[in-house]
Amino acid sequence: MKRAVFPGSFDPITLGHVDIIKRAIPLFDEIVIAIGINADKKYMFSPEQRQEFIRQTFSNEPKIKTASYKGLTVDYCKKIDATFILRGLRNPADFEFEKAIAQTNRKLSGIETVFLLTSAETSFISSSIVRDILRNNGDVSVLVPNTVIK
């Protein structure tokens, strides 16, 4: 089975994430959208809320699972027998940052990282921008799935 882990905070999931996930579905037998828990970070939404956003967004897609984890992503991948990490790239800065992590992960564990470029329509979206708009009572309906708006 080709299982991939798409790690992130997904605080909240955005249409950029959704774009990457939908385009990755044909590539893998299963994609686990894995919410990394970092005790030092302040989140807007609880892990349970974030998982529910994901579940509702992909309720009709049996290849998509969601979970939360603590610690290193490669350790979580080993735990669930995932051989790929999925990452989305918005810009060259993302690539440089993600490349170093991917090379380290491959050296430590042999797990390959698969990169997909975000579509032009969603490449500007980030969870931090969405959170800032939400904090200021702005409209994020064109940036996130309907499940987040509800």
Residues 85-124 as b/e (b if ≥16 CB within 10 A, e otherwise) read: bbbbbbeeebeeebeeebeebeeebebebeebebeeebbe
CA 132 to CA 58: how far, in whole Å?
25
Residue 115 token pair: 């990169």
User: Which structure tokens are listed for 103?
Assistant: 């090379």
Q: Which residues belong to the active site?
A: 17, 41, 90, 127
Take residue 82 and report the two structure tokens written for it: 């995932």
Tokens 């790690």, residue located: 7
CA distance 97 to 99: 6
